[in-house]
Amino acid sequence: MLDELAVANTELVGDDLAHARRLAMSWRLLADLCFADLLMLVPVAGEEAHRFVVVAQVRPTTGQTLYPSDMVGTVVDEVERPLLRRVWCGGDITEGDATVIGANERIRVQGIPARRGDSMVAVLTRETPTTMGRKLGELERVYLDVFERLSRMVADGAFPFEREELAPAEAPTVGDGAIVLDADAKIVFASPNAVSALHRMGIHAYTTGLHLAELGFEDAAVMAALRARAPVTEEMERGDVSLLMRAIPLLSYKRPVGALLLMRDVTELRRRDRMLMSKDATIREIHHRVKNNLQTIAALLRLQGRRLHSREAQQALEESERRIRSIAIVHETLSRDASDVVPFDEIVRPLVRVVEESVSTPERWLHFAVEGDAGNLPGEVATPLAVVLNELMQNAVDHAFPRDGDAPAGGHVLVRLVRSIDELRIDVIDDGVGLPPGFSLEQSTGLGLSIVQALVTGELAGSMEMRNGEPGTWVHVRVPIAAPRVSLQAG
């Protein structure tokens, strides 16, 4: 939004625009420290600072807002806010009385020039009520003092920092806990939430006037921030407590004169992370064990088949073994990743290889090929699809290239995958003998095709079609991907 407004209405471009963008990403800290709304205004192009447009706005989380409505895009002229032109042209922090934009309520406004080097980028306004309901406490006085220091850094071009290592949503805030340090890195003030965080880490000493290290608290982040003159973020663990710390140097004429240490207790978050990691590892282990069990069952079927004398019984066990192995391949893929989504390509190619190796002999060769990519699929969709694909390939082997009669000694089977936004299409095409006269998919009694139809139309809510090709057979399967989970649950 800031970029669009700036490009359409102002002369803010290039590095100056990038500086304004960084400021808008990091200035919640300022709003929380001053308990007030902040507006960022830039002169309208070609009007010589007679009118300004609000390009960004932030409300405090530590106080009430004067602007419950969004002010971004509002144009303010010098009659309504003469302070804006004075700040833009004079380049100094300036205070004055004004009214709430779009209302008659009197407020106090502080204008802060935002610079990047010698270039004026914007004017920040701190907007507060003219009357304070009570005397300021120590916390408010300290926070306002830190705000004034950071305001001067904004005016000097030292804030925002060019390097920000944390996204705003991840960074600790003033409300999480704040410690103010002087130029010698001694504690000047610790907020109640910061003191509570120290207590949870077993530190109960009186903090004011001491170095962090004297409290037994790791001060590496603060010292690194003062040396680098840039924010430094570290995480410290002590026992069961985890603290995320962000040390922000306070600069005057580019020299460090203190630091602000923000800290967030992330103990519960890290506990949840560990639980998720443990859960992910458990899920992967379950898939691994299921895969091993399925392979064991397949091996038992293979052993049982060798003891049978009936060729029909042997073929039935071989078909069952292949179906089990196709499901095992899915679980093997899921066991490598904690996600419940799998790249179907990693399932298709092993399936094709297994079928090709199991049916090709010196007397009869069959070549399988794969085109396209199905992309990532949920595990509950990938499993029935793997069985479907296995059955269709086996069906091509058994019926397109029969072992008896005048069937050719070899042939080709193509598996084509086409993925769109909301659908997956699978084509299995062979150059065999084709469908028998009068064939009807609906009236087919074969176990393989019955399994395929049940999975495609039942579990996957898809459709299937078979017809003669030129030559051979063409099988066309369409499966919706947009809401596969709903279809499965409904079934």
The class that CATH gives domain 2-156 is alpha beta
CB atoms within 10 A of CB 58: 21
Do 2-156 and 270-490 show the same overall fold?
no
The class that CATH gives domain 174-265 is alpha beta
- Going residue by residue through the chain, which has 491 residues, state the pLDDT in tens, using 9 for 90 and above: 788 988 899 999 999 999 999 999 889 999 999 999 999 999 999 888 899 999 999 999 988 899 999 999 999 998 899 999 999 999 999 999 999 988 888 999 999 999 998 899 999 999 998 865 567 888 999 999 999 999 999 999 999 988 765 455 567 889 899 999 998 888 999 999 988 888 888 887 777 888 888 888 888 888 988 998 999 888 888 878 888 889 999 999 889 999 999 998 887 877 777 776 666 666 667 767 777 877 788 788 878 888 888 878 877 787 777 777 777 776 676 666 656 778 888 888 888 887 777 776 666 678 889 999 888 888 788 888 888 888 888 888 877 777 665 555 678 889 999 998 888 999 999 888 888 887 887 777 777 788 888 888 888 888 999 888 778 889 999 999 854 333 333 33
Pick the CATH number of 270-490 from 3.40.50.920, 1.10.3720.10, 3.30.565.10, 2.160.10.10: 3.30.565.10
Helix (H) or strand (E) holding 327: helix 311-334
DSSP string, 120-177: EEEEEEEEEESS-SS---HHHHHHHHHHHHHHHHHHHT--S-S---S-TTTS--GGG-
- Lookup: tokens for 278: 């443990």
For the chain, the domains span: 2-156, 174-265, 270-490
- Measured distance CA(69)–CA(96) in Å, rounded: 23
SS3 254: coil
Query: Is 246 in contact with 231 (CB distance < 8 Å)?
Result: yes
Give the contacts of 403 (CB within 8 A, at least 6 positions apart).
Answer: 364
